[in-house]
A and B are shown apart, each in its own frame.
Chain A
Amino acid sequence: MSQYVLELKGITKTFPGVKALNNVHFQLGPGEIHALMGENGAGKSTFIKVITGVHAPDEGEIFLNGQKVEFKNPKDAQKMGIAAIYQHVTCYPDLSVTENIFMGHEKIQKGTKRILWKEMHAEAKELLDQLGANFDPKTLMGALSVAQQQIVEIAKALSTNAKIIIMDEPTAALTKRESEELYRITEQLRDRGASIIFISHRFEDMYRLASRVTVFRDAKYIGSWGVREISNEDLIVAMVGREITQLFPKKPARVGEELLRVDKLGKTGYFEDISFSLRKGEILGLTGLVGAGRTEVCQSIFGILPHDKGSVYLEGKEIKVKGPLEAMELGIGYLPEDRQKQGLVLEWGIGKNITLPAIGKYSKKGWLNEKEEAEVAKSLSEKVNVKANSIFDLASSLSGGNQQKVVVAKLLTADLKVIILDEPTKGVDVGAKSAIHEIMSDLACQGYGVIMVSSEMPEVLGMCDRIAVMREGRITAILNRDEATQETILEAAMASKAEAAAV
């Protein structure tokens, strides 16, 4: 009998063009919560899919309680007691909670094969009660909140009597209170004898829950440590591959007159009473938890999500933006949060991507001028230092960081005054990250007003002149650079409603 409930040795998985996992190892002890950490693209997601039988590894072996196993499909893994709770909740929105819990292992009557609805509803109710949730299991999944859906996913894992539970970034979209509840449930699962792999990039999660931590980087196994054996700094080095002391090269910029003013902006159901101003050469941080309404505020200023209350002034004049085109013509640019879905045409070359927003500018009466376009694309992609050979290289062939540089280059085609960057360094490697920070700093020096949405505390503290903190659709604090600390920001981001009203 092995001392590990789950052990993976030398796992390699290659997709066309990408080595997603390169000879990685992993050991999970009985009754432990094991944190798996690494930057985006480190191979964590593929690794989970190997454990759950979604992908078969090209090389390597999997051992369950010392027995070598091979999963042909997800069902095999499920039968062996492995369950996963995925990052993007993978539910069936049109089906009831009960069905979501029991999909794939419904209770059926022997012989007639009839589904035993009554028994299933009752057991679902019981499972939900155990997890401290009291919604009706007959509710449609699509009507639940993300946190509630996650409880259902956990109930699903419980219903399969899973001995190994994998949680893929479950806290990413949760408020502090919801996270606390999740911690409690996770510990409860452990105390019942389940072993848990907890994937997260929040250090907080790891320190709160895990006893061991394993780090992947660039599809490779870096190492495993006891959580108390490794220092924060060493862990960061393990994750990013080098020290990050010089990560925030903010140059001092001359802050000029007011550029943009937002007055009591509101959009029913998304945000309320948003007021702030932005000056020339200033970098304004907009932070808070995911789902606090930061992206919505930015998209409203950019004309994607029209607001229904309040007003926006650009250089003192009130503007009414009907769509992105008007926003860009007025001088407001927006770098979207999801570069692959919102920023790029992945199947196009980087050149055509860069010139897309300004295609009208490089044309004569609607006729394309491909020569001028190519020159502009070349000079801009060199300016942001995209690592590519030609402007015809497909955007999909670039790394995350270089893709992001292309999206930044798209912004530079327009004559902008205000640049809004939504999570500009999310899922980007360290090199590209500092390059993007440098570009941002340069932009501020050139007199642009920059708004940066970010969840990453060091980035916000390092880059921003002022920081607006949002919580549940409202701004709870606007802090100057000298008064902002990790604590003051966190307090504003997580303060209760009553306190926020007092701010």
Chain B
Amino acid sequence: MNARNIVAKKEFNWKSFFLQWEWLLVCIFILINVINTSLSPYYLDPKRLLDATMTFLDKAFIVFPMVFILILGDIDISVSSTVALSAVVMAVSYNSGVPMEIAMVICLLVGTICGLINGLLIVKFKELSAVIVTLSTMIIYRGIAYIILEDQASGKFPAWYKFLGWGYVGGVPFILIAFAIFAAIFGLLLHKTTFGRRAYAMGNNITASRFSGIQVDKIKVIIFTLAGTMSAVTALFLTSRMGSTRPNVASGYELDVIAMAVLGGISTSGGKGRMLGAIISVFLIGLLRYGLGLKNIPAQVLLIIIGLLLIFAVMIPNLKFNIGKTRKAQ
């Protein structure tokens, strides 16, 4: 038998390069900016635009792990409750005399534990879907937040804590810098490491992944734990921006976060999508909200727009447009 030569170099193809989901996002992004500019002369002011990012980036930290979770083909709707619980625990422990630095560590710890519990439950009870597990823990985590703080607010944080949500480093909002750093970390983790490759494999075919020696349970637990940790990071920034916290904070965040990831081209059936798309759609939805705010359009309209965007983002590629075919991970 004659051995044939198999090419190991990827050919560059202009057509498939431009048929990527991300270009569609870029087009929508530009469109939103054009509309916003024509609606409000103040919109394009660089200083204001930079400040605008501070208003929507808090929840964006959860988008990164949510991308991983969706790539696994799972979903986590308990993240908003994790935000609330970790914020409440932080505020309460600070107000009972714990130094702020330690309280912040406690916040991260609480979030991580919440995520770990989700992950362990999902792995140990495979009969239960991630939907039902995170649905129950969503009620429980927020329930615990209510037990701790009842209907009170807790705040009076030290002045320096405000820096997280309101501070600047060299004229750039600190939260934007933090977002960029996490974006780089999670982007590299997803696309350039064995961890990311294994996550993609699991999302595409979990059985084949198991037979290939991937420790699927371990990876799943790590990813759900990361979601908890990043929810706590969101809690840190959100509480800093608001100055105090309540048990009902961040409700509905899970929807925003899932919408951002799905709009970014992450398939809900697992295995497909890239971090870049999710990052673009964070800004796309954020700036849309900001622009509508400038024109005093009520927040309810935004609710409706995000809801519709979420459905269309899933529907359009499924309608078998050409563009859908390029939504594969490389």
Contact = CB atoms under 8 A, between A and B. Distances in A.
The answer to whether A and B touch in the complex, with CB atoms under 8 Å apart, is: yes
Interface of A: 304, 323-325, 327-328, 334, 336, 341-348, 351-352, 356-357, 359-360, 363, 366-368, 374-375, 377-378, 381-383, 385-392, 410, 435
A325 B10 contact: no
A401 to B, nearest CB: 13
B208 interface: yes
B319 interface: no
Given A323-B215, A325-B215, A382 B6 contact: yes
B211 A391 contact: no
B266 interface: no
A345 B205 contact: yes
Contacts of B6: 378, 381-382, 386, 388-391
Contacts, number: 99
B5 interface: yes
Interface of B: 1, 3-11, 192-195, 197-198, 201, 204-205, 207-215, 271-272, 328
Contact of B211 (A334, A351, A375, A377): A334
A374 B8 contact: yes
B205 A367 contact: no
Given A388-B6, A389-B7, A345 B208 contact: yes
B208 A343 contact: yes
A377 B1 contact: no
Contact of B1 (A343, A357, A359, A435): A435
A385 B4 contact: yes
A383 B272 CA distance: 30
Contact of A345 (B7, B192, B193, B201): B201
A187 to B, nearest CB: 40
A421 B146 CA distance: 56
B8 A390 contact: yes
B139 to A, nearest CB: 28
B210 A324 contact: yes
A357 B193 contact: no
Given A389-B6, A390-B8, A366 B195 contact: yes
A392 B10 contact: yes
Contact of B205 (A324, A346, A377, A410): A346
A360 B9 CA distance: 21
A272 B208 CA distance: 27
B330 to A, nearest CB: 9
A343 B10 contact: no
B7 A367 contact: no
Given A304-B210, A325-B214, A325-B215, 13 more contacts: A323-B215, A336-B208, A341-B208, A343-B208, A367-B193, A368-B193, A368-B197, A375-B8, A377-B8, A385-B1, A386-B6, A390-B9, A391-B6
A327 B4 CA distance: 33
A351 B8 CA distance: 8
A344 B205 contact: yes
A363 B193 contact: yes
Contact of A357 (B8, B212, B215, B271): B212
B194 A391 contact: no
Nearest to A368: B192
B68 to A, nearest CB: 15
B212 to A, nearest CB: 4
Given A360-B194, A363-B194, A368-B192, A324 B211 contact: yes
A342 B194 contact: no
The 6 lowest CB-CB distance pairs between A and B, nearest first, are: A390-B7, A378-B8, A325-B213, A357-B212, A374-B8, A324-B213
18 contacts: A304-B211, A324-B210, A342-B207, A343-B211, A345-B204, A351-B8, A356-B201, A359-B198, A363-B193, A378-B7, A382-B4, A382-B5, A385-B3, A387-B4, A390-B6, A390-B9, A391-B8, A392-B7
